[in-house]
Structures are given as C-alpha cells and as structure tokens.
Structure 1
Amino acid sequence: MKENLISKKELLEVMGISYGQLYRWKRKNLIPEEWFIKKSSYTGQETYFPKDKIIERIVKILSLKDEVPLDDMADYFTHKKINKELTSEYILSKGVVQPSSLYIYKSFNRSTKEYEFYEVIIMSVIERILMIDGFKEIYVEDSVKMLMENKSMLEENNVMLIGIAKNENFIPFIVKEYSAVAFPNNFKEVFKINISLITEDIKMKLFN
C-alpha cells in the first residue's frame, strides 16, 4: 500500500508553521523520527512525510499547545507503557468509552473494577466495531479474542485491526499500518481500525 506523501516545504505552507516549530516538536518526540522520509530530488535531497498522519498530528499539537506543556504532550503521542491500573469509574468519568462497551468487555473477559491500559484500548475498539454498518456479534467476539491473544502489540506504533468477512465467516487480524494485505478469495474488508490513533485519543482523555 503506497503512502501519500507531502514535502516539508508544502507542509510548512499548508499548516502555517515554521521550520523551527517542526524540528522542536521532533526533538520533543511529538513527531516520530520515522516520519521524516529522505528522498533524492533535483536539488539534492528533500524531506517528505506521510501526509495524513503528519497533518493530523500537527492539528492535534496546535489544538493542545496552549493547554498542555510539550513535555507532557509527548506522553500522548509516544507509545510508552501505562502501568497504572484504571477503575471503571475513572474510565467512564473521562468519557473514554460508553458504559455499554465496558460492560461488553467485562462479559468477554472478567468482572473487575480495575483495568490495565491495554484493556481500555480493547474497550474502545469494541465501541468502534459496534458502530459498523452491518454489525454482527461475531465481529466483537473474534476481535476481542484476537486482541487479548496479542495484547503486547496494542501499544506499539502504527498498529491496525482489520476485519474481513465472507458470508458467515469472519477473520480479524492485526497488521502494521501501511503493510500490504492480501485477502483470501471473495472475502471483503468490513472494518479497519487504527489502534495507534485510539491509543493517543485514550491518553488525552484519561490524563488531561
């Protein structure tokens, strides 16, 4: 899957930011090193970025910069492990998920009042699956099982959950974003969920 790229010059113009701001955010780990893609050009070498991701990230930075110190903001965007256990009450009070999503997760896994961070990610994924057109219960059942079996991947960078279906058959799988994916014959994609973006969103809601 080919990435849609944007040059550094165009990015600065489109977003109305300076060279200094861009590289300060890089130093603060708000923008990952791997997003700075070097390519040869007639002038020597040019820097490009994955367009959709960098624009979305800069919009978030600009929206938060007057309220959240840059050093704290980095915790939202870097996939540092969150070791703190979170109560049901705290999760719901921060609006991370609806009570129904938390209840469904508990029915699949365990009834408790405290959760690890990866479990909150799964709750949020459940919420998104429930909103899919043509939703079926098997989408949640098999996806939760897959996520639980691969929980160590959930806080890595650029992780996607993809669900494909054919008649009554459904297969969920986890891939690195922008990986090339080939489906079995006659299967169609029924959802694609960016877990890394969900992780950022959860951190901003929980710890802001």
Structure 2
Amino acid sequence: MTEEELISKKQLLELTGISYGQLYRWKRKKLVPDEWFIRKSTFTGQETFFPKERMLERVEKIKNMKGDMSLDEIAGQVSIFPTEIQLSQQEILDSNIVSKVALSLYLQQKGPLESFEFQPLLFTYLIDQVLETGRVSSDEAKMILDTLFTYYDEMQGKNVEIIFIRKYGMGCCLLRSLPSELYIDKETKVILRLSVATMIEQLKTKLLEER
C-alpha cells in the first residue's frame, strides 16, 4: 500500500508559521494525536515527522477555531472519543447529516431505534461516506457495517482505519489500528481506505454547525 507523505517538523513550522512551543502545547492538549509525531533516523540523527496532509489540515483547523473556542473545547471537537448526543431519525434527516439511503441501510442491519446516540450516528455517517465514493455496492456497505458492529467496540479510543479490498470480484473489509503496517498481494485491489478519526471529526463539525 502507498505510504503517506511525511513533512518534517522544521518544514511544518516554516510552512504554517506556528512556533515550537505552540506545536507541543497542542500536543499536550491532545489537539494533535501522539501517533502523528513520528521519529525517524536521518543523516543528521533522529528527527520528528508528521503525516503531511492530515497535519496541515489540522493546523489550519485549529487556527480557524482558536478565535471562537478554547484549546480544551477544540480538543473535544477533534478528539476520537464520542460526544453526547441524542437525535431522532427525523432530526438527522432534516439536518442533512446523512442520506436517507444510509440511514435506511443502517436500520435494516441493526433494527429500529427510537433515537441515535453518537456511535450509531457515526456508523451511519461512515456508511454514507462509503456509498458516496461509488466504489462499493450496498451489499459491500452492509459488510463494512457488520464488521464495525463486530469489532469496533474493541478498538474504541484507537486510531482506526477502514480498508475495503477486493480480489477476483470478492470483497473483504478490514479494520486496522494505526500506526501499523499492512502488506497485501499484488492481485488484491484496495478499493477504499477511510480514517475513522477523520470521520469522527467531520461528524462533530456537522453536529456543531447544527446547534
């Protein structure tokens, strides 16, 4: 699988204009996950690198939110932990958080719910994002959902990636706890990769916008 492009700490500070002190204060406040601080050997010794695209997006988001929210409030917004909510099906649809198709698919698999707390809504949002790619069928989306039902609770609090692969027309869903390496044979196609942490952050932003 293709490795994520990295950016060095020096490059990050120069490109974004943030200071060394700001960066490590954000780390202490959990605005930036510990696993994004990647130590690697270089010709000058040990240096710190970050996943480039995700880190640049996170710095921009923190800068934009700082005017209206405290660092603790921002940390709650970008953390991978659930927030307390309770929404009816109609409230979810009226807010355009997920599509009717995704909501219907979730309820087919799980059964009727009077209201949605964060995790059921997150699963529905994940399936909505999966279907939007156009890369998987409804049956394959159900397979992803069943995998989440079975294993996600064991991975709560971890940085999880959903990977859907296909070989000879047969699909398979994997949940991967990052950081970890994954090797697959050349005949297996990676259909999609989805960061659950990113989806949690997006969902929290949508919920915040609807308040």
Aligned ranges 1:125-140 → 2 under 5 Å: 125-140=126-141
Distance verdict in 2 for CA 1:129–1:68, change over 3 Å: same
Q: Structure 1 residue runs of 4+, over 4 Å off?
A: 39-45
Task: Tell me which residue corresponds to 2:147.
Answer: 146
Aligned ranges 1:1-208 → 2 under 5 Å: 2-39=3-40, 45-153=46-154, 155-183=156-184, 186-208=187-209
State the alpha-carbon separation in 1 of the partners of residues 57 and 200 from structure 2: 14
C-alpha deviation, 1:136, in angstroms: 1.9
State the alpha-carbon separation in 2 of the partners of residues 38 and 192 from structure 1: 24
The alignment partner of 2:49 has SS state of: strand
Distance verdict in 2 for CA 1:12–1:114, change over 3 Å: same
Alignment TM-score, normalising by the size of structure 1: 0.85
Deviations 1:109-129 (A, max 9, x none): 112231232211211121122
Aligned sequence identity (%): 33
- Equivalent residue pairs, number: 208
State the alpha-carbon separation in 2 of the partners of residues 41 and 168 from structure 1: 42
Which segments of 5 or more consecutive residues in structure 2 lack a partner in the other structure? none
C-alpha deviation, 1:44, in angstroms: 5.7
State the alpha-carbon separation in 1 of the partners of residues 60 and 17 from structure 2: 11
C-alpha deviation, 1:6, in angstroms: 1.6
State the alpha-carbon separation in 1 of the partners of residues 112 and 201 from structure 2: 26
State the alpha-carbon separation in 1 of the partners of residues 41 and 184 from structure 2: 34
C-alpha deviation, 1:154, in angstroms: 6.0
Alignment TM-score, normalising by the size of structure 2: 0.84
Instruction: Give the conservation status (yes or no) of the 8 Å contact 2:8–2:50.
Output: yes
Deviations 1:161-187 (A, max 9, x none): 111123442111111245332335733
Tell me which moved more, 183-192 or 139-148. Answer: 183-192
Taking only aligned residues, the RMSD between alpha carbons, in angstroms, comes to: 2.5
Tell me which moved more, 121-130 or 77-86. Answer: 77-86
